[in-house]
Amino acid sequence: MITGLAKCGVVSEARELFNDMQVKDEITWSAMIDGYVKGGCFKEALEVFVVMQREEIRPSKFALSSGLAACANLGALGQGRWVHAYLEKNFIKLDSISGTALVDMYAKCGRVDMAWDVFEKMRVKEVFTWNAMISGLALNGRAEEAIEFFFRMLRGNFRPNGITFVGVLNACAHAGMVSRGLEIFHSMKTVFDVEPEMEHYGCLVDLLGRAGHLAEAEDLILSMPMKPSAAVWGALLGACRKHGDVELGERVGKILLELEPLNSGRYALLSNIYAKAGRWDDVADVRKLMKERGVKTTPGSSVIELEGIVHEFKMGDGSHPQMKEIYLMLKSVIERLETEGYLPNTSQVLFDIDEEEKQTSLKYHSEKLAIAFGLISTKPGTTIRVVKNLRVCEDCHSATKLISRVYGREIIVRDRVRYHHFRNGMCSCNDFW
């Protein structure tokens, strides 16, 4: 019943049924965790998984894999390592599924070294195992290694599939390897008989756009064998923002606002392009259009896991029990950053408020709150890991670089676009995300 309700998209009803059950066996717990994972409710899945541990219910491989999936999506390294230790303590051999789940979890928590270690120790590797490793390397900014892994995969006589090429093309895009990316893209059909799909074209548009080849990226979109999706156009719009191409950005933005009239992210990106060009009347027009269409903005949310507990932060949300200490810490952080030359970047704050209020709103972005919590809750030198549901804004990116240097911390932020490894005042994305 729990599995059936979860599959129908009514996870809340599945949870009610779960709570009402007097006796719960391992299958019941596993079904509830898996239902949450498949429904994208990763925080809730991890909470159930932690309670399952406290109740001393012995988890099956199925429950452990679901728990690892929740850890991967939340960046919950602590719980993920607990699962790994449990497997080793109970002499549970890694098969291709549990091993790949561990590789994926470690990579998504920013511990590529540990993902690599698990991968090398696996006796049986499938194509999806190689895919997890290639994607993990690519998204963590280790493009050269991702591409080398791809060729190592070929030398091992593994046949790549469409998912493999998404990972490899993402690696090329993040490293600016245009020639290599084009070569690999064209080899998909001619060498490996893999038909490029929408996602591969999106990767190629992203590759060309990141490298500043905006005209070529637009030509590619217009020559695609299928109707380009909003995601493909979105990759080009992101490149227009990065390279300041207002004319093309305006054209692409209008297409996107027709394709996805209720997607607030598209309006924000177009507004940012106008704002960077100082076209404030156009910024106001975009905001007006949003109001007319009833577009609701997606609130920023950041999570950080400590000792098995997932803490979630949103701007303006004072519900956390340590909120007073967090605000005091954040105030101290900002003051210290200002002595280092930090000045809030208000150019992309699109609210109709004055400059002082804009600076205040930037101070309390969710990732800053999560980082401040990490600073007061962990020992000096401890790595801080944060997962955000939206793209990190330019101000938070600049501030986090400074925090990593001033406080001597490695800070890993996974946003909607990629992974950012902040260390000694630098970021692995080289300020392009």
Q: Pick from 208, 226, 225, 228: which is nearest to 217 by CA?
A: 208
Contact 145, 179 (CB under 8 A): no
Mean pLDDT score of the chain: 91
Kindly compute the dihedral angle of the four CA atoms of residues 109, 92, 155, 105, in this order, to the nearest 10 degrees. -10
What's the CA gap between 131 and 153, in Å, rounded? 9
Q: Which residue has the higher pLDDT, 233 or 361?
A: 233
pLDDT at position 50 is 87
Q: Pick from 65, 56, 34: which is nearest to 14 by CA?
A: 34
Q: Which residues, 6+ apart, have CB-to-CB distance to 341 below 8 Å?
A: none
pLDDT at position 348 is 55
Read off the pTM: 0.83
Indicate the pLDDT class of residue 349, thresholds 50, 70 and 90.
low
Angstrom distances, CA of residue 299 to CA of 174, 201, 316: 27, 29, 10
Work out the average pLDDT over 181-203.
97
Q: Which residue has the higher pLDDT, 364 or 295?
A: 295
- The three-class DSSP label of residue 297 is coil
Q: Name the residue type at position 284.
A: A
Residue indicated by tokens 């954040």: 330
Tokens of 107: 């990579």
- The three-class DSSP label of residue 429 is coil
Contact 283, 348 (CB under 8 A): no
Q: Which residues of 199-218 are buried (b: 16+ CB within 10 A; e: fewer)?
A: bbbbbbbbbbbbbebbebbb
Tokens of 216: 């070529």
Contact 220, 241 (CB under 8 A): no
pLDDT at position 354 is 41
Contact 110, 412 (CB under 8 A): yes
Residue indicated by tokens 């998404």: 166
pLDDT at position 61 is 84
Give the DSSP H or E segment for 306: strand 301-306
- The three-class DSSP label of residue 315 is coil
Residue 344 DSSP code? -
Work out the average pLDDT over 397-425.
94
Q: Name the residue type at position 178.
A: V
Angle at 305 between CA 400 and CA 79, to 5 degrees: 135
- HEC assignment per residue over 60-109: CHHHHHHHHHHHHHHCCHHHHHHHHHHHHHCCCCCCHHHHHHHHHHHHHC
pLDDT at position 402 is 96
Over residues 56-108, the pLDDT tens digits come to: 888 888 889 999 999 999 999 998 999 999 999 888 888 999 999 999 999 99
What's the CA gap between 367 and 349, in Å, rounded? 16
Please state whether beta strands 419-423 and 384-388 pair in parallel, antiparallel, or not at all (unpaired).
Answer: unpaired
Residue 191: Cβ within 10 Å count: 11
Q: Which residue has the higher pLDDT, 432 or 35?
A: 35
Please state whether beta strands 426-427 and 411-414 pair in parallel, antiparallel, or not at all (unpaired).
Answer: unpaired
Q: Pick from 121, 146, 152, 142: which is nearest to 132 by CA?
A: 146
What's the CA gap between 41 and 15, in Å, rounded? 12
Over residues 111-169, the pLDDT tens digits come to: 999 999 999 999 999 999 999 999 999 989 899 999 999 999 999 999 999 999 999 99
